[in-house]
Structure 1
Amino acid sequence: MTNDFLWSPKNLKTNLKDYINYLEKNNLHKYESFTKLHKWSIDKKELFWKSIWNYTEIIGDYKNPIIKNKNNFIKSSFFINSKINFTENLLKKDNDEDAIIFYSEQQKSRKISWNELGKQVNNLSSFFKTFGIKKNDRIVGVLPNIPETVISFLATAKIGAIWSSCSADFGTTAIIDRFQQIKPKILIVCDYYYYNNKKIETLSKINEVLNKIKSIKEVIIIPYDVSYKKYKIDFKYINWLSIFKAKNKILKYSKFNFNHPLYILFSSGTTGKPKCIVHSAGGALIQHKKEHILHCNIKNNDKVFYFTTCGWMMWNWLISCLASNATILLYDGSPFFPNNKYLFEIINKEKITFFGTGAKYLDTIRQNNINIINKFSLPNLKTICSTGSPLIHESFNYVYKKIKKNVHLTSISGGTDLVSCLVLGNPNLPVFSGEIQCKGLGMDVAILDQKGRKLKNKKGELVCLSTFPSKPIYFWNDKNNKKIKKAYFSKYKNIWHHGDYAEITKNNGFIIYGRSDATLNASGVRIGTAELYRVVENIKDINECIAAEQKFNNDTRIIMFIKLSNNKTLDNKFEIYIKNEIKRLLSPKHIPSKIFQVDDIPRTKSNKIAEITVKNILNNNKITNLSSLQNPECLKIYRQIKKISL
């Protein structure tokens, strides 16, 4: 399929262009093309990352070496003698302009200035110190996407403690599975939150958490409506507002090693207890500043809105935008309440310059034919960013037809594992439908076949051939790096195997076809699930689908499950039509052996469809961690179908 040209930049006065001029002025690199610039960033890795430190103006004590053990992926480390304070780098501004804008689905909003944000972070970090929190202690939150979550994180990082969070909608098992492993001392919770016009109370689950995690010595409760109240609960707590009534001394910024742990993120947990992925302050900071400033063209005083929860790595990515002197907008609640255009109403009203969301959101508003362009002009919006799953061709086209014509649509792909991107956008390059624009600078990305040979214009395994600063510094409780080796380095020696099935196009862009472990194998032909979903979910009355491979008669076959619009039923005629469309638009190899109708599609806590869980059901494998799913109750019908029909 030819990927249509959709957009080219009209204004090349970008941060990336300015960085190119910086390199030339300092005799570091003479620019000829982005491809050659990227090659230089790999061949001259030390020069490149030092230039990022200097160009993005990282505050810290810089000392050589830049990279140690650079040829050993696991043992490699960056800036080992350099020191920074992560929070100091995010709170450089100290004025009355907005640092954080907050909106809830209940149409309530508030704003926090840079000056006020700095004061609140100082007050909370001072409280932590008084409570006895030391460097490397863990502070955790079960919280909605509110300003107090950001304040909690930045106060934790300021004193060298380690932050970790779950979204407020996590159940007790999911919370315990994550936090029990890391033994936190303080738990911060919110009394309630809203979703789809429902007020959801959260404190009732805290007792069980405290009974299971004995390391927690203090609970702080944040009132969602920011008003003081007493709670009738049977555990001791501190009200968030009382912390800020006390006069706390100003804590100076202490600098910690560049590789000091900043936060712990978690794997999805679909194959056991979630793995605890520890990221460094310096690695996250320098990688995010590179991505935000160069690849996303985020500038001083820009306004960045990423629709996310604090249980997804895009929350961490969003908060780092403060380091680029940008205002961040937090949204808490359903994106479709009070109406299906509400997010764009906010974008228009608050003059947002950069809007990010999951690909599924864009696909949903496309399927519902929501016309934004006739309602809102979005004059300040420069960039729309999509991630979480592959953005299909139709959604690319929809953005330019129904949202905004002159906008940089940047699909990005990376993961919790690196809290950043392998491939992403470029404000100086054209956008082609269905493609991610380029490799990240400094990221040695390639596509390999099963024998480790490089591929172009062919599907294969997405890898990173050499080290980068935001790789995990370690997994928690991972003696001798056994879990890290198994997760990323078991397929290819000393090469980061990311687990995505992908292709480099003739435009030097990327297409992600889905997860490698969910790739379908039909009579020896590997098929990425994303290309199958793209065709099927574009059929009228199909809301969503999921497919998995099943072992059958010494071979494998594809089984598909579809969720239909209200009152629609999968009959024989419709099933034949679906299969014919797959054959017409893809190939006979792509046709599922069987198609079943279901009421819901299982999703992980990070809102990704749980293909491996369905695959395990189809192949009678044990489902090891139901708490990793948002909706485990929906698996009942999959088990029934497997038992009766397969």
Structure 2
Amino acid sequence: MPNKKLWSPTATNSLLKKFQNSISKDFNLESYNDLHKWSIENKNNFWDKIWNFTNICGLKKGQIYETSNEFINEKFFNDSYLNYTENCLLKNDDTDAIIFYNEKKLSRRLSWKKLRENVFKLSNFFKKKKIKTNDRIAAVLPNIPETVISFLACAQIGAIWSSCSSDFGPKAIIDRFKQIEPKILIITDYYFYNNKKINTLQHIHKIIKELKSIKEIIIIPYGCEQNYKLNFKYIKWNKIFENEILNKKFIKLPFNHPLYILYSSGTTGIPKCIVHGSGGSLIQHKKEHQLHCDIRENDKIFYFTTCGWMMWNWLISSLASKATIVLYDGSPFVPEIDYLFNIVNVEKISFFGTGAKYIDHLKQNKIKINNKYDLNYLKTIASTGSPLMHESFNYVYKNIKKNVHLASISGGTDIVSCFMLGNPMLPVYSGEIQCAGLGMDVDVFDENGKSIVGKKGELVCKTPFPSKPLYFWKDNNNKKYLDTYFSKYNQIWHHGDFCEKTKNGGFIIYGRSDATLNANGVRIGTAELYRVVEKINNIEECAAVEHKIHNDTEIILFIKMKGNYILSDKIKNKIKTEIRNNLSPKYVPSKLFQIKDIPKTKSGKIVELSIKDVINGNSVNNLSSLSNPDCLKYYEEIYKKLND
């Protein structure tokens, strides 16, 4: 049965349409499919036009695209120069550049002029402290305006930024920052989450003890600045901004100069340090923002994220389109379950993005946003982090806003951008991501490496793109880089998502490839199973994994119930019946267990591999990548029961 069409575009003046029209004069491109095909077959011409259309500020010269025998060695704009921060600060007036809210209903605003002034003051301070290009500046910070200032000041002088959100524990922080050896560490004194004030200074001495490279520590006050009684020297944030600006010049850096280091969220070994370039990230983000999201000057962009998730990096780049960014710090459900939409309404936000689990949670709690807020200015809702269920698509149009562009997007930390995303020129179909991004040579392969449509397979990208990683940190001969993305297919990026390309030209993500369930040789994505199970009343969420038993495997399903509800035999039978009738008898789990919690990454993704490791008697190597590692003790108890 084809997926239901939920929305069709009515506006004909989108930036994407304008871009297509500007090219169609010469190349006769009638549809988005024509445009996409042209974009991947004409990389030189396409990316040159993206630079011009999105108004990138820099020195463009030399060859646009340099080919190589190896995917990772192909270069974009290798002779060109720009400054990422300059591109984010082209606007310089008294209107809002940043609007900030937190769960305590505190709000602040920062103008473009003040943002630019603070960035220059901080970058001058960094230079006084002898920070040079390629030195690392690390931060453990909440999603506050000072974090943006710190990042832009770092990028302005060509230093490399890396951040963890404040909820990361000492081991998680050390596992990441010890690898990259930062010279400056920026921290805050406390933050709020779920009505709790959390002291972030209590563990800092452990971190400093391990990070021998640190020369300076800066403390940002979340509220009023205090004199902290600490056993190490530190610099007060506000002290830095007492000085006059001595240098207001932007440094032109190579297009492929490193901008930031992000970290893989896998659970095998310590996190991989992925280095992304300034030009590649900028041009990819501007393409996505302006063409796929229709973001324009003076739009207000609100993405619910922490600065430990790649969507924070994606959000900040929208400053380069002269849009205002809206930051939120705290629980999305405090002080009220719909508080984020209150901000969307009050601030007249045009683009709101969040994780799929947030929308799922609103749906499960039957929250009718449109009964309370009119959301007249909201043009686009974006969802990412995990597959957005068909039912959640329907929920958005029924209970949030009928006439809105719902853009499910998918990419990752690996590319700090998207492979597939929204399109203001195309319809939205239930459960589908609308299209592959322009310039992204995305496909779905079967087990034999053949392109398939209407069937499930492996998500791949067949040719390079500007936001591919520059390299992995301290990766001799690019071994980790090559093993991570190119071990399955020769010179073709294998992303690790189990996926389907639909006849509509869209995509459906069924989960991670390494978490798929295999029953009698037939694979199923976990998202398909979860969709069926989570429809059942009083089930909050679930996780399914394979369990090896003798010379065979079985599927075990772990259920987290709402509130104080019990996983009764009646509910177990209901689950099995629904799976049998809606999927296949092959996928009916052999065992079902009620569980108190399900392990997740810091960005809220379920980590089936950790559960699978525990119940199969294997160790979980990288507990620090989990937001709730303590919950694995419940699975250890189940492992013991399974082996009694």
TM-superposed deviation, 1:479: 0.6
Q: Structure 2 matches for 1:66-215, cutoff 5 A?
A: 66-215=64-213
TM-superposed deviation, 1:70: 4.7
Where 1:74 maps in the other structure, the secondary structure is: helix
Where 1:247 maps in the other structure, the secondary structure is: coil
Q: 1:297 aligns with which of 294, 297, 303?
A: 294
Equivalence for 2:34: 36
Equivalence for 2:2: 2
CA deviation profile, 1:216-239 (whole Å, cap 9, x unmatched): 0110000001x3321111111001
Q: 2:320 aligns with which of 316, 319, 323?
A: 323
| Comparing 259-268 and 531-540, the one that deviates more | 531-540
Measure, in 2, the Cα distance between the counterparts of 1:453 and 1:71. Answer: 21
Measure, in 2, the Cα distance between the counterparts of 1:411 and 1:196. Answer: 27
Where 1:462 maps in the other structure, the secondary structure is: strand
Q: 1:557 aligns with which of 554, 557, 560?
A: 554
Equivalence for 1:24: 24
Where 1:376 maps in the other structure, the secondary structure is: coil
| Comparing 230-239 and 148-157, the one that deviates more | 230-239
TM-superposed deviation, 1:521: 0.5
Matched, 1:223 2:221: yes
Measure, in 1, the Cα distance between the counterparts of 2:527 and 2:446. Answer: 19
Equivalence for 1:546: 543
Where 1:351 maps in the other structure, the secondary structure is: coil
TM-superposed deviation, 1:553: 3.1
TM-superposed deviation, 1:168: 0.3
Q: Structure 2 matches for 1:159-558, cutoff 5 A?
A: 159-225=157-223, 227-558=224-555
1:239 counterpart letter in structure 2: K
| Comparing 202-211 and 602-611, the one that deviates more | 602-611
How many corresponding residue pairs? Answer: 643
Where 2:554 maps in the other structure, the secondary structure is: strand
Where 2:285 maps in the other structure, the secondary structure is: helix
CA deviation profile, 1:345-403 (whole Å, cap 9, x unmatched): 10000000000000000000000000100100000000000000000011000000000
Measure, in 2, the Cα distance between the counterparts of 1:528 and 1:569. Answer: 26
Equivalence for 2:579: 582
CA deviation profile, 1:73-117 (whole Å, cap 9, x unmatched): 111111110000000001000000100000010000010000000
CA deviation profile, 1:274-333 (whole Å, cap 9, x unmatched): 000000000000000000000000011100000000000000000000001100000000
Where 1:584 maps in the other structure, the secondary structure is: helix
Measure, in 1, the Cα distance between the counterparts of 2:563 and 2:409. Answer: 32
Q: What is the TM-score normalised by the length of structure 1?
A: 0.99
Q: Is the 8 A contact 2:615 2:638 kept in 1?
A: no
Where 2:139 maps in the other structure, the secondary structure is: strand
2:34 counterpart letter in structure 1: K
Where 2:72 maps in the other structure, the secondary structure is: coil
TM-superposed deviation, 1:590: 1.8
Measure, in 2, the Cα distance between the counterparts of 1:552 and 1:455. Answer: 33
Compute the RMSD of aligned alpha carbons.
0.9
TM-superposed deviation, 1:162: 0.2
Note the residue ranges of structure 2 that are not aligned, 5 or more in a row: none
Measure, in 1, the Cα distance between the counterparts of 2:640 and 2:301. Answer: 48
Measure, in 2, the Cα distance between the counterparts of 1:606 and 1:338. Answer: 21
Where 2:482 maps in the other structure, the secondary structure is: helix
Equivalence for 1:59: 57
1:294 counterpart letter in structure 2: L
TM-superposed deviation, 1:551: 1.7
Measure, in 2, the Cα distance between the counterparts of 1:559 and 1:285. Answer: 43
Where 2:371 maps in the other structure, the secondary structure is: coil
Equivalence for 2:14: 14
Measure, in 2, the Cα distance between the counterparts of 1:567 and 1:230. Answer: 45
Q: Is the 8 A contact 1:268 1:606 kept in 2?
A: no
| Comparing 577-586 and 349-358, the one that deviates more | 577-586
Where 2:553 maps in the other structure, the secondary structure is: strand
Measure, in 2, the Cα distance between the counterparts of 1:192 and 1:116. Answer: 24
Measure, in 2, the Cα distance between the counterparts of 1:34 and 1:10. Answer: 16
Measure, in 1, the Cα distance between the counterparts of 2:12 and 2:592. Answer: 49
TM-superposed deviation, 1:571: 2.2
Q: Is the 8 A contact 2:263 2:271 kept in 1?
A: yes
Measure, in 2, the Cα distance between the counterparts of 1:566 and 1:269. Answer: 30
CA deviation profile, 1:136-163 (whole Å, cap 9, x unmatched): 0000100000000000000000000000
Measure, in 2, the Cα distance between the counterparts of 1:637 and 1:156. Answer: 43
Q: Is the 8 A contact 1:523 1:555 kept in 2?
A: no
| Comparing 105-114 and 544-553, the one that deviates more | 544-553
Where 2:337 maps in the other structure, the secondary structure is: coil
2:78 counterpart letter in structure 1: I
TM-superposed deviation, 1:72: 2.3
| Comparing 263-272 and 310-319, the one that deviates more | 263-272
TM-superposed deviation, 1:71: 4.9
Measure, in 1, the Cα distance between the counterparts of 2:352 and 2:284. Answer: 20
Where 1:35 maps in the other structure, the secondary structure is: helix
Q: Runs of 4+ in structure 1 displaced over 3 angstroms?
A: none
CA deviation profile, 1:228-257 (whole Å, cap 9, x unmatched): 321111111001001001123133011110
Q: Is the 8 A contact 1:370 1:402 kept in 2?
A: yes
Measure, in 2, the Cα distance between the counterparts of 1:360 and 1:278. Answer: 28
TM-superposed deviation, 1:587: 1.3
Q: Is the 8 A contact 1:71 1:466 kept in 2?
A: no
| Comparing 202-211 and 617-626, the one that deviates more | 617-626
Equivalence for 1:606: 603
Q: Is the 8 A contact 1:70 1:467 kept in 2?
A: no
Measure, in 1, the Cα distance between the counterparts of 2:245 and 2:36. Answer: 47
Identity of aligned residues (%): 63
| Comparing 193-202 and 69-78, the one that deviates more | 69-78
Q: What is the TM-score normalised by the length of structure 2?
A: 0.99
1:450 counterpart letter in structure 2: E
TM-superposed deviation, 1:456: 0.4
2:18 counterpart letter in structure 1: D
TM-superposed deviation, 1:31: 2.0
1:364 counterpart letter in structure 2: H
Q: 1:643 aligns with which of 614, 625, 640?
A: 640
Measure, in 2, the Cα distance between the counterparts of 1:629 and 1:306. Answer: 22
Where 1:346 maps in the other structure, the secondary structure is: helix
TM-superposed deviation, 1:334: 0.4
Measure, in 2, the Cα distance between the counterparts of 1:42 and 1:604. Answer: 33
| Comparing 254-263 and 582-591, the one that deviates more | 582-591
